[in-house]
Structures are given as structure tokens and as C-alpha cells.
Amino acid sequence: MEKPNYGGVGLHVFINLTLGVILLVVGLVGTMALYPLLLLLILPSPYFVFMGVRWMGGGVLEDRLRIRDEFMKLIRPEDGNRVLDVGTGGGFLAIGFAKAIRNSEIVGIDVWMRLGGGTGLENAVRNTEIEGVAGKVRFEECDARDISYPNDYFDIVVASFAIYTIRREREKVFLEMVRVLKPGGKFAIMEPWRSWELGWVVDERFKRKLEEIGLGDVKFQSILLTYPRKRYVCIVYGEKRPQQP
């Protein structure tokens, strides 16, 4: 049976296996030809080969589908809700909502930058067919910093592993997500706790920033991913505060 493609695995396999082999070869050749201490380069090589093989294994998709279920349980969407998935990629969350609720308007937006680890629009549409929700999600090419929907439109605005990858004008993404959310509507993002390379940290300061732009009672919840290695990611959620008269 065909499985949905939520992207990224091939690149991880390639990077890890290539690094493993390069370290092994440079370590061996360097030791013989240049300097004995270069043998130390061999030490991390098995780790990268192991990670490459783990990424190849079938568990990654199952793990992702499990955390999607956990995400849904936390958000508790209702039939008829309008839902926006920002940086939807292969439609990961949007499709989860389409499976969970009926008579809903579900939109997935993305710029589909393949180098950003995402997958193309055609793949997202194909995933709706594989997951049995063809025609229930509308995918649109749209930048998260300029969302093409009116104020207070959606009941739920979500994102997974997308916002932390947007480095430039990230603040705008949050402003836009909150702008298109109805007062009382649910905001939830599933992202790493931190990524130093991308200047991303989920902490009290981050929480205060979200509260300043209109979310009330922002909470964090840790969630365990087991593939390709055990690591915790974070769900950040809150509701948009009712507007002042």
C-alpha cells in the first residue's frame, strides 16, 4: 500500500551516510599519509552511518503520524472549523485535520521551497489521495509573512516544523497567524525546543512575545519523537484573546 510522503528523509539519509563515509576515508587516508592523530576522525563515523540507516528505516513516518494524533487530541478540532496549516509542506497537519473533522474549510499554505526540507504541491495533493481525504484540503502558494486571508477568519491556525525554519522576519509570521485567527480561536505550533543555528528558542521570553501580540495563556507541552533518535519537541498553544471593545 502506498504511504504518504511527508518529506525530508532522503536528504537526511544522504547527509548522514556521506558524512560517515567521508570521515572514515579522510581518517584512514590522512592517518597513513599525513598525521596519526587524524585517526580520531574515524570515531564519529559509525554514528553518522547509524543515523543514516535509522532515517532509512520505516519508523519515521509512523512516529510522525503518532505525534500528529497527539497534536489533534490536544487541539480538539470540531466539525465545521476553519483551519489554516502554515508551511504545510506535504500537508502533514492539514491532512490530519481533514481526517478528524467534517464540513470544514481546511487550507494549507506554503512557498514549497524544496531546499527548506519541504515537499512540492503535487506531493501534498497526492498525500490527500493516499490518506483518503482528496478534495478536502485546499493548498495555496502563499508566504507565511503575508497571509492572503482577512482578519479573524480561522478557528484554528497551526504549523509544524515550519516556523523555526523561517529566519527572516519571523515576527511577521506570528503577527499574521494571530491576525487571521478569530478571537477565542486556537493557535498551536509543533516545533523544536531550540535550534541555535536558526536562532530559535522556546522559552518564557518567547511566551511573553506571543502574549503581547494577542494570545492568552500560552502553554508549552513536550512531545517525544523516537526516530531517528529520541528527542523532545514542543507544542506551543494558546487562544486569541477577545478584542477589547
Ligand X SMILES: C[S@@+](CC[C@H](N)C(=O)[O-])C[C@H]1O[C@@H](n2cnc3c(N)ncnc32)[C@H](O)[C@@H]1O
Binding site for ligand X (CB under 6 A): 6-7, 87-90, 92, 109-113, 116-118, 143-145, 160-162, 165-166
CA distances from 190 to 25, 85, 93, 195 (A): 38, 11, 10, 13
- Strand order of the β-sheet with 215-225 is 137-141, 105-110, 82-86, 154-160, 181-192, 231-240, 215-225
One-letter amino acid for residue 124 of the chain: A
- Is the CB of 7 or the CB of 238 nearer to ligand X? 7
In the complex, what is the shortest distance from the CB of residue 130 to ligand X, in angstroms, rounded to a whole number?
14
* Nearer Cβ to ligand X (112/149): 112
Closest chain position to ligand X (CB): 118
Distance CA 98, CA 89 (A): 15
The distance of closest approach from Cβ of residue 226 to ligand X in the complex, given in angstroms and rounded to an integer, is: 16
82: part of which helix (H) or strand (E)? strand 82-86
**In the complex, minimum distance from the CB of residue 175 to ligand X, in angstroms, rounded to a whole number:** 13
Angle subtended by helix axes 59-75 and 92-100, to nearest 10: 60
Which ranges in 101-231 belong to alpha helices (H)? 121-130, 170-179, 204-212
**Cis check: omega of the bond before 192, within 30 degrees of 0:** no
Q: Return the number of the residue (15 or 28) whose C-beta is nearest ligand X.
A: 15
Nearer to ligand X, 27 or 179 (CB): 179
Q: How far is the CB of 242 from ligand X (least distance, A)?
A: 28
Looking at residue 34, the DSSP 8-state letter turns out to be T
- Nearest-approach distance from CB 95 to ligand X, in angstroms: 10
**Nearer Cβ to ligand X, position 44 or 59?**
59
What is the nearest approach in angstroms of ligand X to the Cβ of residue 92? 4
What would the grid cell of residue 38 be? 587524524
Neighbour count for residue 170 (Cβ, 10 Å): 16
CB atoms within 10 A of CB 160: 25
Q: How far is the CB of 106 from ligand X (least distance, A)?
A: 14
With respect to ligand X, which residue has the nearer C-beta, 23 or 131? 131
Query: Which CB atom, from 168 or from 205, has the smaller least distance to ligand X?
Result: 168
Cβ proximity of 106 and 138 under 8 Å? yes
